[in-house]
Structure 1
Amino acid sequence: MLREEIQIKDAVWNELNEIGMFRAVEAIESYWWGWRCRRCGNKLRRKFADIPCARCNQTHVYCRNCVEMGRVLECQPLYVWTGPHPTWPVRGKACGWDGELTAAQQQASNRIREVMEAGVGELLTWAVCGAGKTEMLFAGIGRSLEAGKRVCLATPRADVVRELLPRFRHAFPDTSISGLYGGSEKKAADGQLVLATTHQLLRFARAFDVMVIDEIDAFPYHEDPSLPFAASRAAKSASARIYLTATPRKKQRRRLEHGQLDSVFVPIRFHGRPLPVPRLILSSHMKKSLQNNMPPVAFFNWLKRRHHPERQLLLFVPYVELAGNMEKAIGPLLRDKLGDTVIASVHAADEEREAKVQQFRNQELQVLITTTILERGVTFPSVDVVVLDAGHAVFDEAALVQIAGRAGRSPDDPEGEVLFFHAGKTKAMVAAVRSINAMNNRAVKI
């Protein structure tokens, strides 16, 4: 970590340095082929740049890859804690959750607990959207905390951390829990149980006995090599590593096929009903409609014939500008057709994103237009899901499976319509439908 990230007073800092509790290391290592950032592991030349340094009046190289965590310069060291690791007492029951698991959930929970208790090994938990992955973790995490182990649950998106924090605080009421994400009020990571975005793992080294990576297939984790690097470094050399996903990428599938990764499979949702299968609806005038910030005519035709108009509508669009523009364009039309409809749009850079998502969750909004920021990690009890321009490159197979998984999550409304409006089928669309059907077929055999 940089000195300014270490939240202790100078007097304490100096005292700890004198007794060797911190070790300074080069932040940017120089090699004949270029540089390597010691914080994020970046080696790509295009992700380094020069900048004048006010501290020493020279020009230095800095890492652009992790600059959002604080600029790392050649002339600044990073500090590694070399003192004793914090210890937590061995204690009685840590988990206060008293819910019941289904047979499929229980099987997965047992496997997860076994790996966590062993303290070493990897396990991929492949569970469909809405299978109840969080509840499957509780038993293993509880046993780990009782044994005095330190546990981290990391996920690529801040929205997920915010949603999980109250659930974990309720499930583990006597455990110190830290929540780390961009914009979080407290940056101290002193909890025995840490919930964090994967970017925050760049601040840790050999800190956790149990490392759980949620949604390993999600952007940016699967595309940014620094994040798996950070996750690996944050875990102790001897540690249990649990990976959660509904849509494993080719890398994980290859490891499974070659016997390099153990797995447990949960092909059915906790309420036992099948996953909603998307309907693919061709709209030859899609591009022209979107250029006018409007959905295609086929969307409005469907809207008139919705089976359950009382459901909320989650409307996915491929890019940020379209979300805001479409909200303004179709708001008056929807009010004319549906009455007093309240509509909003949301995207990753929206400062009101958290509030809007909560409004939608509270059913204060009827329609929410969103980018892929809400493709995963959020749960709404009764929604229909629509994707406009489903053939756009941003909607790969994993994204489409996750988006479809927003529907039918509640036992009170386990169905929900899922529609992919497109100007021509893509491999991703076909593969997503095939994957969902395959899951449903496997669930029938349980």
Structure 2
Amino acid sequence: MQCPRCKNEDPKYFYRDENQIYCRKCIQFGRVNIDEVIQPKTYKCKKHRVKAHLNFELTDAQKKASVQLKENALKGIDSLVYACCGAGKTEICFETITAFLNAGKKIGFAIPRRQVVLEICERLKKAYPRLKVIAVCQGHTDVDDGDLIVCTMHQLYRYHQTFDLLILDEVDAFPYKNNDMLEAIALNACKGVKVMLSATPSRQLLLKAENGQLSIIELFVRPHGHPLIVPRCIILADFFQLIHLLFFMKRHGGQWLVFVPTIAMADAYGKWLSVFMPCSSFTSKTLCKEEILDRFKNHQLTVLFTSTILERGVTFKGVHVAVLQSSHPVFDESSLIQIVGRVGRDPNNPTGHALLYADKKNHAIKRCIYALQKMNESLLDLHECSG
């Protein structure tokens, strides 16, 4: 037995209802019987005559990656874009998106997190102002068809065999990471070419690239050309970590994004420190999320304590980051690389501080530092070749 939607074959997820057997693994998307043939919904397609509007020019490295990605896609080759945080992964896809739009193809852009869906949707609207670009996620499901569809991974169940080009962003992030059901639904949504974007791809994806199952496109340099920030690891007992950080903040100044392992810790620290300085917390349970992010972006807050919810998909100009208890299991190599990647993205301020506080330097911390150092070595090699 196999579910026609999520491809589940585990007997424990199947349930018999009289003469029908249906899958319970993907029941959240509606009931589907194992002998059912899912009929694709018809979505409108038309040829366009558009080009992406950018208020900046791509760097030579971005142009090279962009051309390679388009060539792969037009040949029907799946690609993995392995690019550092802030390298411009979305912009690298624009040339490919434009080619498929002008050929009358259907395009989907899927992202794990709702907040990032809304942000990417706005960026695509600015790039393609003449097109109907829609976001399909929680709170935005009344309209599910447009010239460009941006959605969460979960919403891909609506688009069985729909997309000629499906771009899967942040494939290393929760809840898509290690989720067989969502991966199967994504595969079902694509009838053409897949493009996967990641700053921290899984070993499985890298192995597929090594085995020739997909093409890998690497980009480890940000548009401003400066090296990536490599974090400093500070070994201290948990109790002393916040004290050391406060003294460091006072000495160096600036605006700080401080990651902690639990929601309760973020709320407690944010509430306590707000007595002494402009400070708040931001977690999945925070009310008025947009208001707090706007206050931080407008420099009305000096410190923002947060959980891993802000580890990716957001950009703050000139921010420093710190991670308290970074050896906690919630912070893996991928998470730490994403967190450190918040620093140095602004062309006018490409440097900054990244501090990893821990009671010991565990494997995830070592791998994070090593990975960023290796990316910087690639940048050094590129400069030497250019010289």
From 149, 156, 168, the counterpart of 1:194: 149
Match for residue 166 of structure 2?
211
Distance, in Å, in 1 between the alignment partners of 2:38 and 2:190 is: 18
Distance, in Å, in 2 between the alignment partners of 1:205 and 1:435 is: 37
Shift, 1:61, TM fit: 7.5
Match for residue 385 of structure 2?
none
Match for residue 220 of structure 2?
267
Match for residue 240 of structure 1?
193
Match for residue 232 of structure 2?
279
Distance, in Å, in 1 between the alignment partners of 2:269 and 2:366 is: 27
- Counterpart mapping for 1:278-317 below 5 A: 278-284=231-237, 286=238, 289=239, 296-306=242-252, 309=253, 311-317=254-260
Q: Is residue 395 from structure 1 mapped to residue 331 from structure 2 by the alignment?
A: yes
Match for residue 112 of structure 1?
69
Higher gyration radius (CA): 1
Match for residue 370 of structure 1?
306
Shift, 1:232, TM fit: 0.6
Match for residue 44 of structure 2?
86
- Counterpart mapping for 1:376-387 below 5 A: 376-387=312-323
Cα distance change of structure 1 residues 74 and 264 upon mapping to structure 2, 3 Å threshold: closer
Could you say what the CA RMSD is over the residues aligned between the two structures, in angstroms? 2.7
Distance, in Å, in 2 between the alignment partners of 1:276 and 1:101 is: 22
Distance, in Å, in 2 between the alignment partners of 1:135 and 1:419 is: 29
Match for residue 63 of structure 1?
24
Shift, 1:37, TM fit: 5.0
Distance, in Å, in 1 between the alignment partners of 2:120 and 2:381 is: 31
Aligned partners of 1:40 and 1:202 also within 8 Å = no
User: 3-state SS of the aligned residue for 1:348?
Assistant: coil
Q: What is the one-letter code of the residue matched to 1:86?
A: K
Aligned partners of 1:40 and 1:66 also within 8 Å = no
Give CA deviations for 1:329-368 in whole Å, capped at 9, x if unaligned: 2222xx2xxxxx3222112233422332233223232211
Distance, in Å, in 2 between the alignment partners of 1:232 and 1:214 is: 14
Give CA deviations for 1:262-302 in whole Å, capped at 9, x if unaligned: 11111111110111110000112x0xx3xxxx953222232
Q: Is residue 254 from structure 1 mapped to residue 200 from structure 2 by the alignment?
A: no
Distance, in Å, in 1 between the alignment partners of 2:74 and 2:362 is: 44
Q: TM-score, normalization: structure 1?
A: 0.79
From 67, 80, 84, the counterpart of 1:124: 80
Higher relative contact order (CA 8 A, sep 6+): 2
Match for residue 426 of structure 1?
362
Distance, in Å, in 2 between the alignment partners of 1:153 and 1:48 is: 31
Distance, in Å, in 2 between the alignment partners of 1:414 and 1:126 is: 21
Match for residue 322 of structure 1?
265
Identity %: 33
Gaps of 5+ in 1: 1-30, 336-340
Gaps of 5+ in 2: 383-387
Q: TM-score, normalization: structure 2?
A: 0.90
Q: Is residue 95 from structure 1 mapped to residue 46 from structure 2 by the alignment?
A: no
Aligned residue pairs: how many?
382
